[in-house]
Structure 1
């Protein structure tokens, strides 16, 4: 069974609380977006990246900026 992850921007704790009380269930998990920025910065050389693909499946930033939250199948 797939689960849903409801991600709320950290700047809106009231919305997070509302969503947590309203939508949290066995199939829906409500979390606060904890991302700060990309970890790799600067021009320093990096070793061979063994990952085949990015761990982030889709960029949530447009939804988070437009609506203050994003819904992801988890």
Structure 2
């Protein structure tokens, strides 16, 4: 069964409580966004880039800013 992660903006504690009450279950985890910013500061690339791609999904940041929450499949 697919597990879902509902991420709520830290600026929305009332929305977090509501969404956790309504949607929180064994298949849906409701959490606050814990990100503080980019983990790595972009610098000039030295040598070969080891990561295969950008792991952070841009739509999550956009959804959090636009609506205060984002839904992600785990």
TM-score (norm 1): 0.81
State the aligned residue count: 73
**Structure 1: runs of 5+ lacking an equivalent:** none
Which residues of 2 match residues 1-74 of structure 1 at below 5 A? 1-41=1-41, 43=43, 49-56=49-56, 58-59=57-58, 60-74=60-74
TM-score (norm. length: structure 2): 0.81
Q: 2:45, 2:53 → 1: CA distance?
A: 19
Q: What displacement does 1:39 show?
A: 1.6
Distance 2:17 2:33 in 1: 13
> 22-31 or 46-55, which moves further after superposition?
46-55
Name stretches of at least 5 consecutive residues in structure 2 with no aligned partner. Answer: none
> CA RMSD of the aligned region, Å?
1.9
